[in-house]
Amino acid sequence: MTDSPALAAAPSVAVIVVAAGSGSRLGHVEPKAFVLLQMRPLLDRALDSIFAMREAVQVIVVAPIDRLMDARRIAASVSARHEAPDTTTPPPPSPAATSTSIAAPPSRTVTIIEGGRTRQDSVDRGMSALMPSIDIVLVHDAARALTPAVLCDEVVAAVRSTGHGIIPGLPLVDTIKRIAHSGAILGTVDRSELSAVQTPQGFPRSMLADAHARAAQNGRLEAHTDDAALVADAGLPVSVIAGHPLAFKITTPEDLERAEAILHAATASPTPAWHLPRIGTGLDVHSFATDATTELWLAGLYWPGERGLSGHSDGDVVAHAICDAILGAAGLGDIGSVFGTADPRFTDAHGEIFLTETVRLVAAAGYLIGNVSVQIIGNRPRFSPRRGEAETLLAGILLAPVNIAATTTDALGFTGRGEGVAATATALLYPAPRAGRSVGQPAAPAPLPEPGQTPDLNWEA
């Protein structure tokens, strides 16, 4: 990042990313912002554009309460792709909800906060987390995942030059008819007076705060579908600037297919070697502990009543095999060389710690995890009743699909004799797009720790 005075100063612009909407119209059970678009959540792609803005910004992600950790991991992954920092800038305390601050580049402060029951309630909560230095607020939909950074910059510039609300919009190309409930045509609307508005919508902070306060006082906060309508209802000026075709909202399966086609066309040129996917494999084995009180942790889950596995950490063979597979695919070594067994910080450490740091390392190296497949080999515990639980947990950590299978060896070998458990894993990585290089071209590999040193573990914070 550039160490210019503008970037070093406290940000004057904030972007509230609304990511609390459902994905029902997309046909998904998960919230819309966490639906995958070419192996990356919509929120990931939306944040990518915001992180590419020209100036320092405070980023506030408003997410469902049960997806706050997922939002945090997504933001951390995007931050790593845009050059991870050495320090964390804490956000101001938020009275609205539980919030989590994560490490971000020097020009970015990222806050994850719980959303509200409605969109306007979520925006209200996001505004409660604004830093004192903020004087311009952009409100953006995570579902507009392909919005280019230049549009965000243009909205900020227009707010500064006019001193009032700015929204991007596109002219309508279809003929618009007014119709009755019966379907009868009542007339033709002059489309020259209409615009299909988009986000981000930008406002002076005081203007947006005043409009929200008035609407809440008059009981009209939930009567408007966007912030521009809320501000206009308060009698405050809002202007439209030229929008961008890529800032469309992904709402239906057809919208998702359109976004997939756009991204596919952008990468359909002849594929250089550095653009190809990379595959890694991992293997880990641990014997059962001699101490009957040792807890069993497997696939990130605690297994009550089962004897645990021996090891410097918690002995989670699934987590360790996955780390080996991911690190190997990225060319970053293996779990032993990256983490080591002599570090006291890893004593009894759970697999989630290793997985989270591995995700950060491969993101810093310029890769995204496509999917992971794991095979557990052992007589116990009986894994099938908790397979779905384990896959969901690990997929949330890796931000990628995870499939786990379990088998025995028909009483053959050490696993067949019940002496321990083994796991193998295969991981597929994709080069991640990043500002400043061609799509898919990986960054310089993240440096491995020198002998005697340990990784930069953001989980310690």
pLDDT above 90: residue 321:
yes
Single out the residue in 266, 296, 320 at which a domain terminates.
266
Query: CATH code at 80?
Result: 3.90.550.10
Residues at the annotated binding site for a divalent metal cation? 284, 286, 320
Same domain, 227 and 325: no
Q: What is the mean pLDDT of residues 219-231?
A: 78
Single out the residue in 247, 266, 285 at which a domain terminates.
266
DSSP code of 309?
B
| Residue 84 confidence class, pLDDT cut points 50, 70, 90 | very low
Q: Residue 63 is which amino acid?
A: A
Q: What is the pLDDT of residue 345?
A: 66
pLDDT in tens, 388-439: 888 988 988 898 889 999 998 888 888 888 888 999 999 999 887 654 444 3
Q: What is the pLDDT of residue 310?
A: 81
Rg (CA), the chain: 25
Q: Give the integer Cα–Cα distance in Å for 365 and 276.
A: 15
Same domain, 228 and 310: no
**C-alpha atoms less than 13 angstroms from C-alpha of 288 in its C-beta half-sphere:** 16
- Cis-peptide, bond into residue 106, ω within 30° of zero: no
| Residue 340 confidence class, pLDDT cut points 50, 70, 90 | low
Q: What is the pLDDT of residue 275?
A: 62
Same domain, 184 and 324: no
Residues at the annotated binding site? 284-286, 312-313, 320, 334-336, 407-410, 414, 417
Q: What percent of the chain has pLDDT over 70?
A: 82
Extract the tokens encoding 151. 């549009």
- Torsion (CA) 311, 312, 315, 320 in degrees, nearest 10: -120
Q: What is the pLDDT of residue 233?
A: 85
Same domain, 284 and 374: yes
Average pLDDT, the chain: 81
Q: What is the pLDDT of residue 105?
A: 46
Residue-number span of the structural domain to which 170 is assigned = 5-266
Q: What is the pLDDT of residue 83?
A: 66
More confident: 88 or 209: 209
Q: What is the pLDDT of residue 2?
A: 36
Q: Give the integer Cα–Cα distance in Å for 5 and 56.
A: 10
Q: 104 in helix, strand or coil?
A: coil
pLDDT in tens, 257-299: 999 888 877 765 555 555 678 899 999 999 988 888 888 899 9
Q: What percent of the chain has pLDDT over 90?
A: 37
Single out the residue in 266, 292, 327 at which a domain terminates.
266
Q: What is the mean pLDDT of residues 116-127?
A: 89
CA distances from 355 to 127, 159, 435 (A): 33, 42, 26
| Residue 93 confidence class, pLDDT cut points 50, 70, 90 | very low
Same domain, 203 and 342: no
Q: Give the integer Cα–Cα distance in Å for 109 and 37.
A: 25
Same domain, 361 and 445: yes
Same domain, 253 and 310: no
Q: Give the lowest-confidence range in 229-233, 421-425, 433-437, 443-447.
A: 443-447
CA distances from 349 to 76, 315, 460 (A): 21, 9, 12
| Residue 377 confidence class, pLDDT cut points 50, 70, 90 | very high
Q: Give the lowest-confidence range in 120-124, 194-198, 340-344.
A: 340-344
Q: Is the Cβ–Cβ distance between 138 and 61 less than 8 Å? A: no
Same domain, 330 and 209: no
Query: CATH code at 414?
Result: 3.30.1330.50
Q: Residue 257 is which amino acid?
A: E
Same domain, 33 and 17: yes
Q: Structural domain tally of the chain?
A: 2
Q: 98 in helix, strand or coil?
A: coil
Same domain, 400 and 310: yes
Same domain, 298 and 222: no
Same domain, 217 and 171: yes
Q: Is the Cβ–Cβ distance between 15 and 107 less than 8 Å? A: no
More confident: 180 or 173: 180
Q: What is the mean pLDDT of residues 326-341?
A: 83
